[in-house]
Amino acid sequence: MFRLVFLSTVLLCLVELIHGFAPSATFVVRSSVATSLLRSADNADDEVTMDQLMVVYGEAKLRKLRRKQKVRARVKAKAEEEEATKSENRAIHAAATASNAAKKAVKILAKSGDTLKLIIAGAPASGKGTQCAIIKENFGVVHLSTGDMLRAAVAAGTEVGKQAKDFMDAGKLVPDDVIIGVVKDRLAAEDCQSQGWLLDGFPRTQAQAQALAQAGVSADCFIFLEVPDDILVERVVGRRTDPETGDIYHLTFSPPEDDEVMARLVQRSDDTEDKVKVRLEQFHANVDAVKGSYTDISVDVDGTKTPQMVSQVIATAIAAKVQSKA
């Protein structure tokens, strides 16, 4: 019997080595299990086979792996929880820093009687909409997009609005000189004069930038959001809209919590990979020339960071521009 147990132990050791494992403390447990099996078989006057020993070895190994998996899962969950807490704290700190920088800049502007004039640019899905909302809240400027300005001018029946309407009704692109006229009129409005303004995504071409300068429109800071194309494509393709509320979600980054909302989400017709790549090509064809028109006031910002981190960089840059003018 002793020799049988000894041989069983040797067999288990060989299996350990074959599988690439060095004998360890757990091997003692496996040997004990094998010994118990051998004793039971001996009492039953039965023969212990190699298959039975392998089953014991396999079950023991499986239990060990399962224990390790549970430990790893707990460690991973704890690490993820800690990282989430750190990320939240970083976001809070970044938002507070951005707010404080903005407050200082606003005080300087109030003393000088000046207003803030900003331009923000970036590819589709670079985060302009999010940052425009934060800039508007922090600095109190009027957020302006060409689409909104054109529609408002047409609705108001202004001279340039009528000109723009003629082109729009004919299905033609509105010429730069008409767009510049619309922009110039809007920037001359009382709210823009008293609060300052933020041009969103305009100018889009060098010709528009030059025409804007010739019209006497200048900015304090040109903010450019840099995001690699592969990330932009991922952001656009996963974007969905709730047709009932107009809220925008992302299937990966910010999905709705409500299954009912998820079920009714729709994708914009131009939010496909092929179409966004075309839009990106058009954007890249003009962006360098536009940036070249604002070299002295341009600020490049990494748009892949969290919205709070991006807003911190933007607010700090704007505050620095304001302080340099004071």
pLDDT digits (tens, 9 = 90+) for 169-197: 887 778 888 889 989 999 999 999 999 99
Task: List the catalytic residue out of 128, 186, 240, 321.
Answer: 128
CATH number of the domain within which 120 lies: 3.40.50.300
Give a yes or no: residue 243 inside a domain: yes
Give a yes or no: residue 301 inside a domain: yes
- Integer-rounded Cα Rg, in Å, for the chain is 33
* pLDDT at position 9 over 80: no
Active site annotation includes 305: no
Give a yes or no: residue 237 inside a domain: yes
Task: List the catalytic residue out of 39, 136, 204, 305.
Answer: 204
Active site annotation includes 204: yes
Q: pLDDT, tens digit, for every residue of 106-145?
A: 788 878 888 999 999 999 999 998 999 999 999 999 999 9
Task: List the catalytic residue out of 151, 279, 291, 305.
Answer: 279
Residue recorded with tokens 């299954």: 259
Task: List the catalytic residue out of 72, 76, 268, 325.
Answer: 268
Give a yes or no: residue 14 inside a domain: no
Q: pLDDT, tens digit, for every residue of 18-49?
A: 444 444 444 444 545 444 544 454 444 444 45
Neighbours of 194 (CB within 10 A): 10
The Cα–Cα gap between 204 and 225 comes to 14
* Three-state SS at 265: coil
The Cα–Cα gap between 173 and 167 comes to 6
Question: Residue 86: which domain range?
Answer: 80-325
CA angle 302, 305, 310 (to 5 degrees): 65
Active site annotation includes 128: yes
Distance spanning both ends of the chain, measured CA to CA: 96
Task: List the catalytic residue out of 186, 239, 240, 321.
Answer: 239
Give a yes or no: residue 49 inside a domain: no
The Cα–Cα gap between 8 and 37 comes to 10
Cα–Cα distance list, 168 to 64, 163, 266 (Å): 71, 9, 27
